[in-house]
Structure 1
């Protein structure tokens, strides 16, 4: 299922669809299917304009980012922090022997902020290797090195090196954390990813509280803001479409109880 989802998404993402339509249109121009060729080229242009410049991706990602507010940290103390992989450029870190983070870097910085705020809380990082073509580079190894260098005590950190997707994140994190009744565990992941992650953790029997990070929008006012770089708009569109598709597939396969989990 992991390989099917990876290959399926490679072909289905909107940015790849632009390339397919362009190539198909150019190839068909040399045949008698002139009308089909023109339709493919027009479709590619429309997708670049609507998906890359107009705020379509913002309309899709905002409901996901706004779904789960941050947990109320007053009251009972926090017993543990779960952080999902995805912020590490593990292959770059491994090849260059440096710390390398991507746009989701707040997953790591917010985890450290929470760890300092709650010095008795355990920290569980879950993330293995998601590469299917390039050599294996394990997210957990890169993350552990970074967290240690940022001051997290080694005895507070547990890492899962096996999980390749969010479904496995939930299963392996629960095994490592072994949460007790009444304990409070925060889940740190990107705000747009939080609904799917919460649904999968709930189905796995691990009650967690949301601590969303890595917002891609500033709020509802962004619904009127176009993109000045089509590549940025298409990148966000890829992210939003992948999350909505992931929510549907998780519900369809029984890994989550609802398409769009509620707080």
Structure 2
């Protein structure tokens, strides 16, 4: 359940309880929910939650040499909309698709792997990899260079299935392309899966430390940042508890 959705549902619940003998409790719940929504929409809360995630990994250092492969995590293409309109529909995180195209031109010998199936609870035939491949091709990556992993449903399966698919050799260097806020959890699960990858963060949602205490001008922007950050922190906690990562907030490898 998305954090913002939960607050809305609590607000509706408080209204329903107003007509019962729990009206006093309902009023307190309504006020609390309204305050939390306002904080999520306009306060620096979203920035404060996002910054530790997005700043955890620095930009990739190209001076270290060419990579052997580039792994692109799904999350940009809406499979339901794509299936409905029979064409790829990118709804967010477009940088995840643009970055590998630029990297593929810079490193013509690197293998390009896209990993992403469907996160829908109800199984469908639509797979994000199937709709993402044409986008990568249109951006200039030859079809024969693209390797598709189309069965994963979450970040953990991205790591497990991709490792099985490409069978990385000792000494090979692989880049992992995903949103900056999602990078700590992604690196953590790839490490746990025994696949050593290097972070290539993209799709930042805030400019940097200067925005840490900035108030949102539009409530929608604040809500989106808070929602994205809360979901990621919840995901990090869940993966840590279930043993899919060894740290709550994975960071760069220590030399």
* TM-score, with structure 1 as normaliser: 0.92
Greater shift, 141-150 or 164-173, is seen at: 141-150
Q: Are residues 1:37 and 2:22 paired?
A: no
* Alignment map for 1:9-48 (pairs within 5 Å): 10=1, 13-48=2-37
* Alignment map for 1:59-70 (pairs within 5 Å): 59-70=48-59
* CA–CA separation in structure 2 for the residues paired with 1:173 and 1:132: 21
- The answer as to whether partners of 1:160 and 1:173 remain within 8 angstroms in 2 is yes
Q: Are residues 1:98 and 2:98 paired?
A: no
* TM-score, with structure 2 as normaliser: 0.94
Secondary structure of the corresponding residue to residue 74 of structure 1: helix
Corresponding residue for 1:89? 78
Offset of residue 160 of structure 1:
0.7
**What are structure 2's unaligned runs of at least 5 residues?**
none
String of CA shifts for 1:201-251, please: whole Å, max 9, x gaps: 001011000000010000111122222232322222121111111111111
Offset of residue 135 of structure 1:
4.5
* CA–CA separation in structure 2 for the residues paired with 1:55 and 1:99: 34
- The answer as to whether partners of 1:48 and 1:230 remain within 8 angstroms in 2 is no
Corresponding residue for 1:51? 40
Offset of residue 133 of structure 1:
4.5
Secondary structure of the corresponding residue to residue 6 of structure 2: helix
* CA–CA separation in structure 2 for the residues paired with 1:224 and 1:64: 16
Corresponding residue for 2:244? 255
Offset of residue 157 of structure 1:
0.8
Offset of residue 99 of structure 1:
3.0
The CA RMSD measured in Å over matched residues stands at 1.4
- The answer as to whether partners of 1:14 and 1:234 remain within 8 angstroms in 2 is no
Offset of residue 90 of structure 1:
2.2
